[in-house]
Amino acid sequence: MNEEQKSLLISSSSHFLPPQGVRLSYGTAGFRADASLLSSTVYRMGILAALRSLKTQAVIGLMITASHNKISDNGVKIADPNGGMLSQHWEPFADALANAPSPQDLVQLINDFVKEGIPFNGVRPAEVILGRDTRPSGDALLKAAKEGIASIVGAIATDMGILTTPQLHWMVRARNMGMKASEEDYFEQLSSSFRCLMDLIPSEKSNRSGPNDKLVVDGANGVGGGNLEVLLKQLNGLSIEIRNYGEDGGVLNEGVGADFVQKEKVVPNGFDSKDVGIRCASLDGDADRLVYFSVTAESNGKIELVDGDKILSLFALFIREQLIILSEEEDAKNSRQAHLGVVQTAYANGASTNYLKQLGLEVNFTPTGVKYLHEKAAEFDIGIYFEANGHGTILFSEDFSGWLVAKTKELSSKSKGSELEKAALRLLAVNKLINQAVGDALSGLLLVEVILQHMGWSIHRWNELYHDLPSRQLKVKVADRTAVVTANAETVVVSPLGLQEAINAETAKHSQGRCFVRPSGTEDVVRVYAEASTQEAADSLANSVAKLVDQFLGCSS
């Protein structure tokens, strides 16, 4: 690093000193905190994004959002060249950068880090594209991010405006693949692939009518509702009503949104007994999560939740169906047995895992966190991952995508209109419709809608695929969450000694019992998850294990 660069960093960073007595950590979704604490952190993530661009010689993304958090919070996260999460190898540097106490410490930290081979004087300057959600704090934090990027000599910052988080990730991936990458390009890719899938629906199922045709979407008073409206103008065959835009005075994520609906299992604001029997869906504030629900006839706000596990099951069924058709090709030399894999975390309901295994699908588990799920899913020709909270996507390997393109061309010339060609075309359209950079509520919603029409299913038929086991989640405050160490995708406690054996003994007391504990990634608590054949048993198991955690670790004062 030359003296000009050092001087620029010291001068610029002196205006963005970190808040006293606060230490922030780059978690699964980047940094999140009360927006008033984040100017320094966002500025420094601008620096990190520019350095990451220099290191990778690629476009990097920086998104300012706190997703489903309350409106007074905000956050920042980095999108890597493939559109995915920041490389885990850079997370410790992100933590150190955010918490460096002075400009001099900051410069020394960067100087030591760039010895790893970051070309400050390379041919290609750093290039970062930025987006933000609708939070009122977003504009000021965007300016801080731009200041951080500008503190790296020659760096280019491009503000893409107010976006969903998945749009920003999609744009980064598209730019680095040499594709068109504007917001209009995003809408065009989703709408054209959706129309293709609609055209391929079997004729006997393409003219459904009645109340099951209507979808009502809760936009969480965030960015997703308006973007869905833009998308709908380019589509035919969907009857969608969008509520909770935020324009009617509703507050972002307050009593609305996918996180609220999934956790509370009640209707969001703006929904009531008039919606009984109608297919409904909720986005979260930045539109990277999606859950479906239906309002029950008993009113009182209760719902039948169709969560991320059921979305995964629907996607897996559809893709499995197309692969089975392709595998029946008469010319065995030209057929290919695609490796399809499903990825879940321990929080997936046990009934969903059993259902997927009964379909003959390969089910894999990873620790909690999208970065782990995404990495595992990328190992397959087609990898599907979802968390129960509604965040997930489908990944197609580059090799299999190339094979699909070639296959559709071959079948178009020799078997046009055949079921083989239609199956290949459907998979190719899914490949283009689904956002392969990150979970995307808008592309996910379109895929759900077209698959339901393809199957001829109502939301109620979909929800009957399997019945969730009753579950309970609790958290136990502890003095030091790091005292709990887990293995086997966080399902087994290896420290403190004896805790896992005690959990096993409690679990064995309950029919269909399953329980695990894991340290939180963001606060000093240990999370407890329990399942059993009845809600009473699940509650009892969770409470018993919470007491065990307290006994082995001691609660915090």
520 labelled ligand-binding: yes
21 labelled ligand-binding: no
Judge whether 415 counts as a catalytic residue.
no
**Residue 357 half-sphere exposure toward CB, CA atoms < 13 A:** 10
32 labelled ligand-binding: no
140 labelled ligand-binding: no
* Nearest partner of 187 among 213, 221, 164, judged by Cα: 164
218 labelled ligand-binding: no
**Is residue 265 within 8 Å of residue 203, measured between CB atoms?**
no
Tokens of 436: 């392969």
288 labelled ligand-binding: yes
* Nearest partner of 27 among 532, 521, 515, 393, judged by Cα: 521
CA distance 51 to 54: 5
527 labelled ligand-binding: yes
550 labelled ligand-binding: no
Cα 386 from chain centre: 8
How many other CB atoms sit within 10 Å of the CB of residue 424? 26
Q: Residue holding tokens 């680095």?
A: 176
Q: Strand pairing partners for 79?
A: 61, 85
* Active-site option among 13, 39, 40, 67: 67
* Nearest partner of 335 among 398, 396, 410, 395, judged by Cα: 410
Q: Which amino acid is at 143?
A: K
519 labelled ligand-binding: yes
75 labelled ligand-binding: no
CA distance 423 to 335: 13
Q: Residue holding tokens 């970065």?
A: 371
195 labelled ligand-binding: no
165 labelled ligand-binding: no
CA distance 306 to 316: 15
Q: Residue holding tokens 């744009």?
A: 171
Q: What CA–CA distances, in Å, run from 397 to 339, 381, 404, 525? A: 10, 5, 10, 38
470 labelled ligand-binding: no
* 42-64 residues labelled b (16+ CB within 10 A) or e (exposed): bbbbbbbbbbbbbbbebbbbbbb
Annotated binding site for Mg(2+): 67, 284, 286, 288
Enzyme catalytic residues: 67
Binding-site residues sit at 67, 284, 286, 288, 387-389, 518-522, 527
Binding residue ranges for substrate:
387-389, 518-522, 527
